[in-house]
Amino acid sequence: MRLVTAVIKPFKLDEVKEALETFGVQGLTVAEVSGYGRQRGHTEVYRGAEYTVDFVPKVRLDVVVADDDVRDVVDVIVKASSTGQIGDGKVWTTLVDDLVRVRTGERGPDAL
Amino acid sequence: MPPFDFVHDLDAGNTAWVLASAALVLLMTPGLAFFYGGMVRSKNVLGMLMQNYVAIGIVSVVWVVVAYSLAFGQNGVFGGFAGNLHQFGLGHMGEQVAGYQGPLAQTIPPLVFVAFQLMFAVITPALITGATADRLKFGAYCVFIGVWLLLVYAPIAHWVFSPEGWLFKKGAEDFAGGTVVHANAGAAGLALAIVLGKRLGWKKDPMRPHNLPFTLLGAGLLWFGWFGFNAGSALGANNLAGYAFVNTNTATAAAMLGWIIVEKLRDGHATTLGAASGAVAGLVAITPAAGFVSPMGSIALGFIAGALCSLAVLLKYKLGYDDALDVVGVHLVGGVAGALLIGFFGTDATGVGINGIFYGGGAHLLRLQAEAVGVAVGYSFVATLVIAKVIDLVMGLRLTKDQELEGMDTVLHAETAYDFGGVTAGGFSPGQRAAHQPAPLTEGASI
């Protein structure tokens, strides 16, 4: 099993969610996060005083998938979240060594 | 003072308008609370709102008991320093207000005048809270505004507003309080900001406004209430009130444009905060002049004030005082500018006042205006400095470092402004403090 984590532009969330549903992914966890990459932040000016806002709002989404599906799921997310502009975000995967469905106690890939 | 003849002196239309104006001016203080509240960080918004609301509470009581008499009584304390205590506890409300005789004679009951002037006394110390934002102790603030009302506001109102006052008698013009309210509050704000010191992290940490829609809402309420402030100051439903009304709106509009034009040229964008700030700067600047200039004059006056104040808000960074929400840049600079610009744009066409420089009146009026506003600002600054220092020594003015970092809302008021039900919303702990919890629903009960 793999945890696929993506940090994307917030307005792309719906497209990514629909693409994952179409692919057959059954569950999804999202969070509003802030951060910056090569895009960096931006400046805002209040009554002439300039503020540098380093952390840009993003959405982070986490989904655990079976090993066989990892490449496809990553591709689906990348395709759905891409605008071609700077600041589109990142997708990465990590190994998951165990997983439990809380309601039934099922473990491993069965619990996906 | 001669008795107020409630049959012959009273004008129902004038009375109705001044009563309505008093209510309009009251609304300015909640408006100011939101104007300021939107500009502070979210951890301090309740602290800011509370300071403004409690000003209504404290000033309303002190005014009725004693401050009104000090402001509008006959000369009595140290000669003409303040009024006497003839109207202590609102006694003698069947007499004409001191000094209002002959052509100045009022046609509204003295008690209505008390109510109208009260609302000015409420908002003046409330204006100061913008300079002291985020770091002033609540108890010390309460003591401060009570003392300040008696020792600073009442005397200056007496000098300038009351026909008994020495600056009034000289002919200094302040239609609705550019000097008494705005320049005065601005100077006091500067003094308090200096005594308090800078907010922790000033110039280093981001201190962005947390809710600009609040600020624009507040500016709108201020603009609305200001029609009572200025047009109500005609003390009658008449042509002068019409001048004040039109001039107020026109100058405010022009000042908003002046501010955002400067912003666009200087910073690259016209901002909503700039629009709200420009409008308030215009309202401040037209306040002393509302009944003394023509509508065309008010365009120039407003535009100048808006542009000037948008430049003045940067002074604090150069001079190194933390006037958090620009009470100096907007109210002191705007109030002084308005008072002085009467010296140029003043006209006798409105039926009161005299001609300024641009209307062939020479520099006499400008000199008078400079004297009046100079005296008021100087006195306010020095007296506030002394009051603030004394309170600081006796009970401390400033929150501790930890309190300031945590924020006023939880530290001072044990409340949180925004609860969106996240995981940090906190658990419910039944106990003595929750004595009124609802009874649990019984099986099968429907809501």
Examine residue B4 and state whether it is found in any structural domain, yes or no. Answer: no
Q: Residues B124, B127, B131, CA angle at the centre, nearest 5°?
A: 140
Confidence (pLDDT) at B439: 54
Examine residue B321 and state whether it is found in any structural domain, yes or no. Answer: yes
Which single residue is written with the structure tokens 């509204």? B108
| A11 in reach of chain B (CB within 8 A) | no
| A43 in reach of chain B (CB within 8 A) | no
CB < 8 Å to B206, chain A: 51, 53
Mean pLDDT by 10 residues, chain B (447 residues): 90 98 98 98 97 98 98 91 96 95 92 98 98 98 98 97 95 95 98 97 90 98 98 97 98 98 96 98 98 97 98 95 96 97 95 93 94 97 98 97 96 92 65 54 52
The nearest alpha carbon in chain B to A47 belongs to B274
Boundaries of domain holding B269: 12-404
Mean pLDDT by 10 residues, chain A (112 residues): 96 96 94 89 88 89 96 97 93 96 93 88
Nearest by CB to residue A47, choosing from B206, B268, B326, is B326
Confidence (pLDDT) at A54: 85
Q: How far is A48 from chain B (nearest CA, A)?
A: 7
Query: Rounded to whole angstroms, how far apart are CA atoms B39 and B55?
Result: 19
CA proximity to B267, closest of A40, A51, A54: A51
* Complete DSSP assignment for A48-64: TEEEEE-PEEEEEEEEE
Confidence (pLDDT) at B204: 87
Examine residue B434 and state whether it is found in any structural domain, yes or no. Answer: no
Task: Tell me the CA end-to-end span of chain B in Å, nearest whole number.
Answer: 65
Residue B412 phi, psi dihedral angles, 5° rounding: -90, -30
Structure tokens at A47: 């009554």
- Rounded to the nearest 10 degrees, what angle do helices B212-231 and B272-286 cross at? 20
Q: Do A53 and B206 touch (CB under 8 A)?
A: yes
Query: Rounded to whole angstroms, how far apart are CA atoms B144 and B134?
Result: 16
Confidence (pLDDT) at B430: 62
Looking up residue B325, the CATH number of its domain turns out to be 1.10.3430.10
Sign of the CA dihedral B267, B271, B273, B277?
Answer: positive
Burial of B445 (0-12, 13-18, 19+ CB in 10 A): exposed
Asked if residue B19 lies in contact with residue B195, where contact means CB atoms within 8 angstroms, the answer is no
Query: Rounded to whole angstroms, how far apart are CA atoms B117 and B224?
Result: 18
Examine residue B142 and state whether it is found in any structural domain, yes or no. Answer: yes
Query: Rounded to whole angstroms, how far apart are CA atoms A72 and A23?
Result: 9
Query: Rounded to whole angstroms, how far apart are CA atoms B232 and A96?
Result: 73
Boundaries of domain holding A36: 2-111
Q: Where are the alpha helices (DSSP H) in B330-363?
A: 333-345
Asked if residue B326 lies in contact with residue B277, where contact means CB atoms within 8 angstroms, the answer is yes
Looking up residue A25, the CATH number of its domain turns out to be 3.30.70.120
Nearest by CB to residue A48, choosing from B206, B208, B267, is B267
Q: From the DSSP assignment, how many helices (H) and strands (E) are in chain A?
A: 2, 6
Q: Which amino acid is at B161?
A: F
Q: Where are the alpha helices (DSSP H) in B38-109?
A: 45-62, 68-72
Counting the structural domains of chain B, the total is 1
> What's the maximum distance between 2 C-alpha atoms anywhere in chain A?
59
Q: How far is B206 from chain A (nearest CA, A)?
A: 6
Q: Is A3 left (phi over 0), alpha (psi -120 to 50) or beta?
A: beta
pTM for the complete prediction? 0.89
Confidence (pLDDT) at B331: 97
Confidence (pLDDT) at A52: 84
Q: How far is A76 from chain B (nearest CA, A)?
A: 31
The nearest alpha carbon in chain B to A53 belongs to B206
Examine residue B391 and state whether it is found in any structural domain, yes or no. Answer: yes
Counting the structural domains of chain A, the total is 1
Query: Which of B198, B208, B212, B420 should be substituted to probe chain A, the one whose Cβ sees the most A Cβ atoms within 10 Å?
Result: B208
Q: Which amino acid is at B178?
A: G
CA proximity to B343, closest of B174, B150, B91: B174
